[in-house]
Amino acid sequence: MESKPHLRVTRRQFVTNSAAAVAAGTLAAAFTPSAQAAPATEQDPEGQRTDRGPFRVIIDTDPGVDDALALLLAMRSPELKIEGITPVAGNVPLDLTLPNALRMVEIAGRTDIPVAAGAKMPLVRRLVTAAYAHGENGLGGAVFPEPKTKPIAQPAAEFIRAIVRKYPGEVTLIPIGPLTNIATALNLDSELAGMVRGIVLMGGSLSGGNITPAAEFNIYVDPEAARIVFQSGIPITMVGLDATRKTSLTEDHVRTLEAAQNPVSQAAAKIGRNAINHNRELGFLVGPNMHDSLAVAAFLDPSILKFKEYYVDVETTGELTSGETLGYSPRAGDLRRKPEMEKQAAAMNMSIRGSAPTLATTRTSPVLRDKFVPNAKVALDVDSAKFFNLLIGRLSASAPA
């Protein structure tokens, strides 16, 4: 892979440059799908797909049923050069997510990948887990031997910082859990954001939550960390509930995995079957959604999803809405303009507004940003069949693709 130049971009430079690009009727190169998500398949000028890679990635995760399958998918994808896996507390506490990640590394035969233990708690909140959805062990009750592989001594945030600095402009972060580790790394190093190639994350929603009516789980667990990440200036691809709700694992998927005779497919089938049974016991009509695997797939093949650009921010103070992701756009909702006016509207002073000021403050304006500047490509739809062809195909293959 060609080495990209090391660009140090401050937040002010990022906002200024992006606003200028919007005013010109186009987005900066940092917001093209190839630069933002660093996809492993791109289109050449003729419209044909061209393979690229391997791409350097770090996967930040809280396994978790769908996290486990996402890790197995990533480790079966030769387009990825996985520099490390950084578990974080989320679906279950760190003392379970860490060994679960180590188990997946061993099952995939990829003990060459460093695993660095991350945060045990969110930045400023008590940990809320999702054992109700993932089982007490995080893997839907599927039991595997204790891992023999040990994590490296370096903490996750320091590991992320070291790898990004070692390969400036080359590393894409794929966080599929709460964003505590990523935010901590950014807080450790004010220059780090300008060195990250992009972030492809599973989290958020523009259409309602799954742990509260407003919030998606990963963002809800650590909204302060999420806000740091979304405001970092790093190009973001957000794969949230708007798309992942359409990725239910089925009996047919599990049977295909069970029929394949390799350790990865057998482990994935075991986790998947336990998760489906767990969902049935809880009265759900469908199997578990493969939220996190879709984020990995979005990196591997962005054509699986449909994206739209938004300025995304995170609610951190609302009693009922904390963790909600808000998407601002002159191309969506009641703010939508005529197609011929969209570019002009984007260049106008569309303010990004927060709550109105109260009588107790001297603040006179609820404006958070003077102009609309997109900071994320948000996945709004998915070709589910194409996604599962990728996921089940790679997990069930006799050897990595």
Using the CB atoms, write b or e for 259-286: b if 16+ within 10 Å.
ebebebbbbbbbbbbbbbebbeeeeeee
Q: CA 205 to CA 225: how far, in whole Å? A: 16
- Give the pairing type, strands 236-239 and 198-202: parallel
Q: How many helices and strands (H and E) does the chain possess?
A: 15, 12
Answer whether 225's CB lies under 8 Å from 122's CB.
yes
181 three-state secondary structure: helix
Dmax (CA) of the chain: 67
Task: Select which of 134, 253, 278, 291 is catalytic.
Answer: 291
> What separation in angstroms does the CA of 241 have from each of 245, 349, 379?
5, 30, 9
Answer whether 118's CB lies under 8 Å from 215's CB.
no
CB atoms within 10 A of CB 295: 30
Least Cα distance to 183 among 316, 60, 10, 327 occurs for 60
Distance in Å from the first CA to the final CA of the chain: 19
Active site residue 291: yes
Query: Which positions are catalytic?
Result: 291
